[in-house]
Amino acid sequence: MSVQQLPTQASTARLEDALARIAQRAIELDRQPRFPTENFADLAAAGALATPPDGLADEARLVRAVAAADASTARILDGHLNGIERLILAAPEPLRSTELTQILEGELLLGVWGADPAAGEGPPARLEHTNGQPVLRGVKTFCSGAGGVQRALILAAGHDGSRRLVYLDTTNSKISIDRGWYQASGLRASESHRVEFHDTPVLAVLGGPGELSREPYFSRDGIRTSATWAGLADSIMRETLSALDPDRTDAVQAHMLGRMRVAQSTIDRWLEHTTTSLNRPDDPRPELDPAVLALECRIALADAARLISTQAAQVCGARALIGASTLDCARRDLDLFLLQHRLDPKIAKLGTHTLTTEGA
């Protein structure tokens, strides 16, 4: 994907330079994981950390391009963009304006932390009140950007059992980050740690119960996230092509490469269709079900990206997957990210929905 296709606020030349530097750092960050501070400084300097004027379609293209350079950075970026939209929608004034100004000035990065701990990892985060003030108590896991973002939107249990979206300052001393918990094979610099909250003050409770799942915004979140899968597929395709010698590529390899190209085109078409359809959150069309459309897109992207990854390994052979190569890193990143999203149960629900709405 060409950077020239990214009509964001960023200068094209500055964004190209930023992406080139991000790509150069990717293998080092995989070998020695840490928060990609330099990458976000480059993106901020290119003006790429504020939401673009044309909305979801441009955001997805941006996340995809960053993921093709370094998926860990894109993983944090997609949460940042998701968080901005929720802040615009639901934060009270004057907090909303103050925070958005700091974001525009490159002073704040946002995370969205929704995963609950498994058994033995601590109590799930819950919203409590101490001395009449809202605080957060408990644990969240897979907190991408922990230690590097300054704000987080966190899914927590309310006193009545409802799911509430809270906004807090992650630099507060009443937060502890378990950096030993996330020892992953992929997305190693995404800093997706286990985080514990010790009556951490809450800046605001955003919206009402179930705010994070509100449509079409939840589906828009999912599309921004799946754009990272698309960028990883682009990276795998690029590395596969660079590893091949046209004069020594046999018919079997060419056949596999052809299947990869069709899969990449599938990704292109689905993202274009879905981001265009969901680009206006207030779209009144009754036939547009954002949840179904976004799920179909995510399933198509996941299947296509898996095919590209599998075929790439067969085309390139073992030599391309040793020495922590870019191809090896991208395949590990993709495997981990897709596993986190567990699409199979959602596919079953889609099948049931299809049967009940379209069956005889």
> Where does a domain end: 104, 138, 173?
104
Residue 285 has a pLDDT of 73
129: CATH? 2.40.110.10
In tens, the pLDDT along 13-38 reads: 889 999 999 999 999 999 999 999 99
Q: Among residues 108, 93, 86, 92, which one has the least CA distance to residue 40?
A: 108
Do 66 and 172 share a structural domain? no
- Please tell me whether the peptide bond between 7 and the residue prior to it is cis, using omega within 30 degrees of 0: no
Could you tell me if 353 and 245 lie in one domain?
Answer: yes
Instruction: Kindly give the pairing relationship between strand 193-201 and strand 133-143.
Output: antiparallel
201 and 222 assigned to the same domain: no
CA–CA distance, 33 with 26 (Å, rounded to integer): 10
What pLDDT score was predicted for residue 10?
46
Structure tokens at 359: 């069956």
Tokens of residue 131, six digits: 């001395």
**Strand-pair partners of 176:** 196
SS3 call for 215? coil
Whether 135 and 242 share a structural domain: no
Distance CA 101, CA 85 (A): 14
- Strand residues in the chain grouped as ranges (E): 110-113, 126-130, 133-143, 151-157, 163-169, 175-178, 193-201, 204-206
Rounded to an integer, what distance in angstroms lies between the CA atom of residue 153 and that of residue 86? Answer: 9
Answer yes or no: are the C-beta atoms of 22 and 70 closer than 8 Å.
yes
pLDDT of residue 3: 37
Q: Are residues 198 and 173 in the same domain?
A: yes
The range of the structural domain enclosing residue 146 comes to 110-209
Domain boundary among 170, 189, 209: 209
124 lies in the same domain as 197? yes
Please state the domain count of the chain: 3
Average pLDDT over all residues of the chain: 92
DSSP output for 270-303: HHHHHHHHTS-TT---TT--HHHHHHHHHHHHHH
Q: What is the pLDDT of residue 12?
A: 80
Dihedral (CA of 291, 269, 16, 308) sign: positive
Residues 33 and 97 occupy one common structural domain: yes
Q: What is the mean pLDDT of residues 310-324?
A: 84
Q: What is the pLDDT of residues 143-181, one digit of tens each?
A: 999 999 999 999 999 988 899 999 999 999 999 999 999
Tens of pLDDT, residue by residue over 196-222, are 999 999 999 999 999 999 999 999 999
Q: Are both 145 and 192 inside the same structural domain?
A: yes
Q: Which of 209, 229, 253 is the last residue of a domain?
A: 209
- Check whether residue 95 and residue 131 sit in a common domain: no
Name the one residue in this structure whose structure tokens are 């599938």: 266
* Same-domain status, 220 and 265: yes
Q: Which CATH number fits the domain that encloses residue 35?
A: 1.10.540.10
168 in the same domain as 227: no
What number of CA atoms fall less than 13 Å from residue 103's CA on the CB side? 26
User: How far is residue 181's CA from residue 163's CA, in Å, rounded to a whole number?
Assistant: 25
Tens digits of per-residue pLDDT, 96-150?
999 999 998 889 999 999 999 999 999 999 999 998 899 999 999 999 999 999 9
| Same-domain check for residues 123 and 253 | no
